[in-house]
């Protein structure tokens, strides 16, 4: 485990500890006290302050990169070069070309990869995807994706998503990167490759506290984006990302409309319930709530399990199974690179105020 802070504690480590086929042997953080604290909490035998020491540990077969965004590429590359399978938090890189290069490196070395696209591992989203795959929704016409919550509505809540040295003289893409990377991946998983995008980014809160800097800063962080999508299949899509739309975490909603039916997965934790799923057939038209069977959930979890743990227990166990059983990879670095390419295209569409083709 590389990185021993909030998301490692809330999502990744509970996933490994709950899965008997995985054994966390070492944890590393440059703030070594954080690594020590989580080693104690989760029963991890070895603690390192430098990733190179962890990568030299022969017992480590797979590395989990859960560090700040601007470090993912270098740490993932180093782990692959050391012969380890890698799970990386998203996004993999700041430029799509770098993400494709590290995806190719993994393939050349015969190593497995997974991107931390959390919401692919929601039971509701997996059911929705299964309905697309088995034809229950028919031909797909429209896909709508939202990731919006009010996490950064309060300008005094410190924002961590600004890379050191990011230029301050123009809009800094942020929600479209952090939230949008998830959404475009989900939409691509449902409806196939994107052919073209148009989009608009905006800064709604002009002054805010940025982690590590004193007081409120005048900083044009992009805290909301909308985009239109033409898929290669001819389907239409629309997406919205927002740091400042009132509503709870994670604030993901995926709506898919096809010739035979429609489904809406709503991943918004409310009154202790992590998510809901509804389905309407073309015949009956009214959306009905769908209750998933216990097998749709990781062992010992249900709709009342906190969502980071619920989704990461699935993500982690599926990756471990892919490595140990040699089964088909899903949600790899290549998917991360494709997502990055699409996010870059939305940013370009905004900057040049035009449609951008991806084909
Ligand atoms: N997939 C999701 O839904 C989701 C949700 C939340 C966060 N995230 C992502 O997870 C990552 C971690 O999030 P967080 O909130 O825990 O971040 P954080 O910045 O609070 O913690 C990251 C930790 O990594 C450590 N670190 C930095 N460089 C390191 C290095 N070279 N080697 C070892 N440790 C190093 C830091 O000291 C820190 O303790 C981020 O990229 C974030 O965007 C993803």
71 lines ligand 1 (CB under 6 A): yes
Strand pairing category for 113-115 and 85-88: parallel
For 29-62, letters b (16+ CB in 10 Å) and e give beebebbbbbbeebebebbbeebeebbebeebeb
| pLDDT attached to residue 162 | 77
Contact 219, 177 (CB under 8 A): no
- pTM for the full predicted model: 0.95
pLDDT in tens, 29-52: 999 999 999 999 999 999 999 999
Token digits for 56?
Answer: 């030299």
Q: What is the DSSP letter of 92?
A: -
Q: Is 166 a residue whose pLDDT tops 90? A: no
Residue 29 alpha carbon to ligand 1 centre in Å: 10
End-to-end CA distance of the chain: 37
Q: Is 164 a residue whose pLDDT tops 80? A: no
Give the SS3 label for residue 280.
Answer: strand
pLDDT in tens, 259-283: 999 999 999 999 999 999 999 999 9
Nearest ligand 1 atom, CA 160: 19
2 lines ligand 1 (CB under 6 A): yes
pLDDT level of residue 125 (50, 70, 90 thresholds): very high
Residue 48 alpha carbon to ligand 1 centre in Å: 16
CA torsion, ordered 336, 250, 257, 316, to nearest 10 deg: 50
Residue 70 alpha carbon to ligand 1 centre in Å: 10
Residue 332's alpha-carbon distances to 88, 132, 339, 357, in angstroms, are 9, 20, 11, 23
pLDDT level of residue 151 (50, 70, 90 thresholds): very high
Per cent of the chain over pLDDT 90 is 92
Alpha-carbon gap, residue 228 to 328, rounded angstroms: 31
| pLDDT attached to residue 255 | 98
Token digits for 188?
Answer: 């691509």
Beta-bridged to residue 226, according to DSSP, are: 200, 240
Residue 71 alpha carbon to ligand 1 centre in Å: 9
Q: Is 160 a residue whose pLDDT tops 80? A: no
pLDDT in tens, 57-116: 999 999 999 999 889 999 999 999 999 999 999 989 888 999 999 999 999 999 999 999
Beta-bridged to residue 255, according to DSSP, are: 144, 264
DSSP string across 141-187: EEEEEEEE-STT-STTSPB----TT--SSS-B--HHHHTHHHHHHHH
Alpha-carbon gap, residue 333 to 113, rounded angstroms: 6
């Amino acid at each position: 485990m590389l990185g021993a802070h909030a998301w490692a504690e809330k999502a990744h480590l509970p996933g490994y500890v709950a899965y008997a086929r995985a054994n966390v042997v070492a944890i590393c953080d440059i703030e070594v006290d954080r690594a020590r604290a989580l080693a104690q909490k989760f029963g991890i035998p070895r603690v390192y302050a430098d990733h190179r020491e962890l990568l030299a540990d022969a017992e480590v077969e797979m590395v989990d990169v859960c560090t700040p965004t601007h470090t993912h590429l270098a740490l993932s590359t180093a782990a692959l070069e050391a012969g380890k399978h890698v799970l990386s938090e998203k996004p993999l890189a700041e430029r799509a070309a770098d993400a494709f290069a590290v995806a190719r490196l993994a393939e050349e070395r015969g190593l497995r990869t997974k991107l931390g696209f959390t919401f692919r591992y929601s039971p509701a989203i997996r059911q929705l995807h299964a309905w697309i795959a088995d034809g229950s929704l028919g031909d797909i016409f429209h896909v709508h994706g939202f990731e919006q919550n009010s996490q950064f509505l309060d300008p005094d809540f410190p924002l961590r998503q600004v890379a050191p040295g990011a230029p301050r003289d123009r809009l800094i893409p942020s929600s479209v990167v952090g939230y949008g990377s998830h959404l475009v991946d989900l939409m691509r998983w449902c409806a196939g490759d994107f052919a073209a995008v148009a989009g608009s980014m905006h800064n709604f809160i002009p002054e805010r506290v940025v982690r590590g800097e004193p007081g409120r800063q005048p900083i044009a962080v992009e805290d909301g984006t909308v985009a239109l999508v033409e898929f290669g299949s001819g389907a239409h899509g629309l997406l919205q990302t927002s740091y400042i739309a009132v509503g709870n975490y994670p604030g993901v909603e995926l709506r898919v409309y096809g010739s035979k039916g429609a489904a809406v997965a709503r991943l918004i934790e409310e009154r202790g319930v992590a998510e809901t799923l509804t389905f309407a057939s073309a015949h009956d038209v009214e959306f009905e709530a769908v209750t998933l069977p216990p097998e749709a959930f990781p062992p010992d979890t249900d709709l009342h399990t906190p969502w980071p743990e619920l989704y990461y227990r699935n993500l982690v166990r599926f990756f471990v199974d892919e490595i140990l059983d040699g089964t088909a990879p899903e949600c790899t670095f290549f998917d991360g690179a494709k997502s990055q390419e699409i996010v870059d295209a939305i940013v370009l569409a905004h900057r040049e105020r035009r449609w951008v083709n991806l084909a």
